[in-house]
Amino acid sequence: MKKNVLFWVGIKSEDPHLREKHGNFKYLDISKKCWEYWCNKNDVIFFPYEKSSEPDTSAHKATWTRWFDVFDQIEAADIDYDKIAVIDGSTIVHWDAPNFFELAQGQVTAFRSLENLRWITQSVDGYKEFFDNYEFDLKKYISCGFQIFDKSHKNFLQELKAFYYDNYNQIMDLQNNKVGKGTDQPVYNYLLQMKGVEVNTALPAPFMLTHLYRFDWFQHNWQLGIDKTPFFLKYGYIYFFSGFPNRGDRYNIMNQIWEAFKNNYK
Amino acid sequence: MKNIVFIPAVKGSDPKRNAEVAYDLSIKSWSHFCKKNDCELFIMEDLVHDYDEMKITWQRYYALDILEHNNVEYDQVLIVDGDTIVHPECPNFFNLTEHKYCGVHNYGSMDWVLRSMENYNHYVFKQESLFPYYEYINGGFQIFNKKHKSFLQEVTKFYWLNKDLLLHIQNNLWLGTDQTPINFLLRIHDIDLKILPYEFNMQDMHRFEVLGEDLLHTRHGWIYHFNGGVKPHPKAWMEHTYKNLY
């Protein structure tokens, strides 16, 4: 019987620079425990993506290779899958989060990215010439942190892979030297639009809370004084720990949350 | 019957606000929109009730009564804040409504939105359940039509029945005036609500890092709402935006 699969991106790069930048990737251990619990509870196969097909994870970051490996690795494991969610390891899922697979409707399911419109524009503009001045629709820019696919999207990811390897040097130059705004996300977005891939952005917002500081999600209702639960826990399901001034903050915050609420994941 | 753009712009109701908002430029930009899309612009220049009795934000729900009193025939009506500038190429959003009550989600500080929802729920709408926060709309851009007339009458009636409590919350908790109550009332009266995307009411633009000398906001949407405490004040950004677009 077909099952839904959660492809959890949790590769710990061996690159000393990346390890230092990401605090040895300790946050991944927390994310993994939450998602294992959630998958078990919702009868979803938890598939940890911890080994890339590319041995050099500095030259080929996991944010890229996840798209190339997702179908290959799941099929190699002989899993009879229905839908596949690809989720960043920089996330925590609420213990009672509903099963979002039930809301995916066949298109690529993703979230519109609005949190930092300047960053988004710079990333799109930076790649414009590379994409022959394609008129990108900024209103359709999505985040790559959480996508849901089915088998029909395999072709798009294969095209993305071919594009990546065919243009590797130029993409790396843009990514690392000229633009410096993210890794896969700008190219992924351009190709989605250029190839006319249908995207469903109707999944309710609580399934992707990002930039928690920026939008004051860590606050609680201090005026009523009845409940000190922070708003993100009360009203959100999936928390992306991104957009912090210091990357090191990610582990500290995720760990505090884990220590406070880990009993709910048993 | 035409669609109407209705802008509350009552001079003298709030002197500080009058000095810091370029109502004239907002009106000019909306005038352009109306000509282009065969709509009619209506400026609400007079208060219905004394400002201390009822803030202008509540008085805008008299829009249909005011139009009828002035013998203006209408199909759909947009009530829009005077601290907005509309892009000259803004699509005709009246065509997107399906004749439903429409608004745009209130983007920005979720602390403010959720405290407002929870506190009004606690003090005013005690019998009601909280609704999804992501369907909470901003009050500065709302579209309705004749079939919503009785609902709008219920809104103002609700205000007068609960005036003292509403004013107390408004003046002591600082969680807005009409916006959260209208969101509750839409649910209580089972109004079919359609949420339009961010580009039709771009709020709190500093937070989204889209407001800058390069007018980046004009690339990301159509209606610029200079709220959320834009510095130094909305007027500066409204002038900059208007001069560059028109």
B197 domain residue, yes or no? yes
Domain assignment present for residue B184? The answer is: no
Of B115, B134, B216, the CB nearest to A117: B216
Nearest to B210 by CA among B185, B192, B195, B228: B228
The tens digit of pLDDT for each residue in A50-89 reads 999 999 999 999 999 999 999 999 999 999 999 999 999 9
Across the interface, of B109, B110, B119, the residue whose CB is closest to A224 is B119
For the stretch A92-111, pLDDT in tens is: 999 999 999 999 988 899 99
Q: Do residue A117 and residue B198 have CB atoms under 8 angstroms apart?
A: no
Answer yes or no: do A139 and B220 touch at CB < 8 A.
yes
C-alpha A55/C-alpha A64 separation (Å) is 13
For residue B187, being part of any structural domain is answered with no
Total Cβ atoms within 10 A of residue B49: 15
Q: Report yes or no on B186 lying in a domain.
A: no
Number of separate domains in chain B? 1
Q: How far apart are CA A163 and CA A165, in angstroms?
A: 6
Question: What residues does each domain of chain A span?
Answer: 3-208+246-265
> Is domain A3-208+246-265 given the CATH code 3.90.550 in the classification?
yes
Is A105 strand, coil or helix?
Answer: coil
Structure confidence by residue, pLDDT tens digits, B43-89: 999 999 998 999 999 999 999 999 999 999 999 999 999 999 999 99
User: Domain containing B45: what range?
Assistant: 4-106+138-161+192-245
- Which amino acid appears at position B219 of this protein? R
Give the span between the Cα atoms of A235 and A63, in whole angstroms. Answer: 28
Q: Touching check for B88 and chain A: CB below 8 Å?
A: no
* CATH code, domain with B75: 3.90.550.10
Chain A's closest residue to B195, CA to CA, is A202
**Closest-CA residue of chain A to B118:** A221
A123 in Cβ contact with A75 (< 8 Å): no
| Prediction pTM value | 0.95
Question: Is pLDDT at A243 greater than 80 in this prediction?
Answer: no
Cα–Cα distance between B243 and B246 in angstroms, integer? Answer: 6
B32: in domain: yes
pLDDT tops 70 at residue B13: no
The CB-side HSE value for A143 (13 A sphere, CA atoms) comes to 23
Say if B116 falls within a structural domain: no
Among chain A residues, CA nearest to B121:
A224
